[in-house]
Amino acid sequence: MNAKASSGGEKESSGTSSEALGESGVLGEAKRGQVIRVAYVIAALDLTFLFMQMGVMPYMGKSLGLDSVGFGYLQTLFGVLQLVGGYIFGRFADQFGARAALILSCASGSIFFLLMSLSSSIPLLFLSRLPAVFMHGIPGAQKVITDMTTPSKRAGALGKLGLCFGVGIISGSALGGVLSTKFSVYVPAYVGLVGSLINTLIAMIWIPSQTKPKPDHHVTEHSTSQSGSLFSIREIVRLMKFPGVMEVFIVKVFAGLPIGLFMIMFSIISMDFFGLEAVESGYLMSYFGVLQMVVQGLVVGKLASHCTEMTLLRLSVFVFAGVGLGMALMRTVWHYCIIAVPLVFAFSMLATITDSILTKAVPSSDTGAMLGICASVQPLTRTVGPTIGGVLYKQFGVSSFGYLQLMVNLGLFVYLLKSKIPLEEMKSQ
């Protein structure tokens, strides 16, 4: 009995109990680190191919006779599919494991690029968007990291995914431009097809099947999943009822919504308001990618290890409010380059901290579904954003995005200061 108690105490003090890690507890620390690094590689490649196709898609659509309105419909379709598929993908990961989910995402990417490479007409181009419903490389990588880390280390590990995002923006945008200019607009699709197949093989070989977590034994029956279906409104409502989940999710959605609307309209704003050429817009995107890598690699992880998550959540919302004021007053692209520094910081911190808080607040058997819900925030913005953003820009100008950002985040900051959000770590109880 004493030996067992001693063993249990050692596990609790080291923070590496199998209950905190799901089944990943059977893996050694070195093996878990290797799996996490593989997840980073898969995420970086996935984002590279995604940004590569995003850069050439307008030119491919134009070559097929697609006008600006049709291209808007194409983008909306992609956003709706990602929105619907985010939660389904998360539930799939919970039921079949992170390995199966990553393989599904990479295989869907292969089909996506195959159909894109065969798109010789507008209907085929629209058809090529359909596999996007299961293309969720980042949530898949987040699920692996969530299963492989203790709650105390999760925010730092999830934050490093921002490095992958930066790599994807820089390399994907540059590679897509070079390949489409020197060869053909279809060549990036061929590269994406081969790369996605390689990603599928990497996931099959290097991601262990035991990343699928065991259900938490301490969780009562009413708080565990009662549905085996991949999409259930009842399951979403159940997750939102956990202490603190609804409050943090509301902050996650609304804090970044105004800047999300601005980014959706950025291609038009960069031409009309800043007067940038296509090449200069590409340089600006690369600048964002570098900032993302620096912030996620050098700032977010260190702050997460020294400050509480609620403190960092309040900080990100407060900085977002300051960004809103700066956007309302900016007049040139150089002003925007200065504002981009706190903007990237707040955006990265908000995404990392909210994902970390929300995955800790639900049972380990539901982390995939929770990550899927979180991943649906951006597709939701992309779906409704063109309409709302277009009205704001036409009726009130660029400064309206800044004032909206300022007002929304000041309200959220006051709410976070006054409210005591109950945060519970379900997997460490």
Question: 185-217, pLDDT tens digit by residue?
Answer: 899 999 999 999 999 999 999 988 765 444 444
Distance CA 129, CA 106 (A): 14
Distance CA 293, CA 36 (A): 18
Q: How confident is the model at residue 1 (pLDDT cuts 50, 70, 90)?
A: very low
Distance CA 118, CA 139 (A): 28
Q: Are 416 and 408 in contact, with CB atoms under 8 Å apart?
A: no
Distance CA 259, CA 248 (A): 18
Proportion of the chain above pLDDT 70, given as a percent: 86
Distance CA 16, CA 25 (A): 7
The SS3 of residue 422 is: coil
pLDDT the model gives residue 100 = 93
Distance CA 392, CA 381 (A): 14
Which region among 92-106, 168-182, 275-289 has the lowest average model confidence (pLDDT)?
A: 275-289
What is each CA distance from 215 to 89, 119, 161, 366, in whole angstroms? 18, 44, 26, 9
- Tokens representing 53 are 């196709």
pLDDT the model gives residue 382 = 76
Distance CA 402, CA 407 (A): 9
- Tokens representing 138 are 């980042």
Write the single-letter amino acid at 70: G
Distance CA 80, CA 75 (A): 9
Which region among 87-91, 209-213, 246-250, 375-379 has the lowest average model confidence (pLDDT)?
A: 209-213
Which region among 264-268, 304-308, 346-350, 368-372 has the lowest average model confidence (pLDDT)?
A: 264-268
Percent of the chain as helix, strand, coil, to the nearest 5: 85, 0, 15
Distance CA 168, CA 343 (A): 19
pLDDT the model gives residue 422 = 66
Residue 218 has pLDDT above 50, yes or no: no
Alpha helices in 207-308 (DSSP H): 233-240, 245-255, 257-264, 266-272, 278-294, 301-306
What average pLDDT score do residues 141-164 get? 83
Q: Are 264 and 381 in contact, with CB atoms under 8 Å apart?
A: yes
User: Average pLDDT over the chain, rounded to whole?
Assistant: 81
Burial class from Cβ neighbours inside 10 Å (0-12, 13-18, 19+) for residue 400 reads buried
Q: Which residues are within 8 A (CB) of 72 and not within 5 positions of it... i.e. 6 or more apart?
A: 386
Distance CA 17, CA 31 (A): 15
Distance CA 199, CA 401 (A): 38
Alpha helices in 330-418 (DSSP H): 333-361, 367-375, 377-396, 399-418
Q: How confident is the model at residue 106 (pLDDT cuts 50, 70, 90)?
A: very high
Residue 416 has pLDDT above 80, yes or no: yes
The string of pLDDT tens digits covering residues 19-70 is 334 444 456 778 888 899 999 999 999 999 988 888 788 778 888 888 767 8
Q: Are 409 and 317 in contact, with CB atoms under 8 Å apart?
A: yes
The string of pLDDT tens digits covering residues 304-358 is 778 888 889 999 999 999 999 999 999 888 999 999 999 999 988 898 888 888 8
Distance CA 261, CA 14 (A): 44
Q: Are 380 and 346 in contact, with CB atoms under 8 Å apart?
A: no
pLDDT the model gives residue 68 = 67
How many CA atoms are closer than 13 Å to the CA of 87, on its beta-carbon side?
Answer: 17
Among 206, 140, 150, which residue's Cα sits nearest to residue 24? 150
Distance CA 125, CA 110 (A): 15
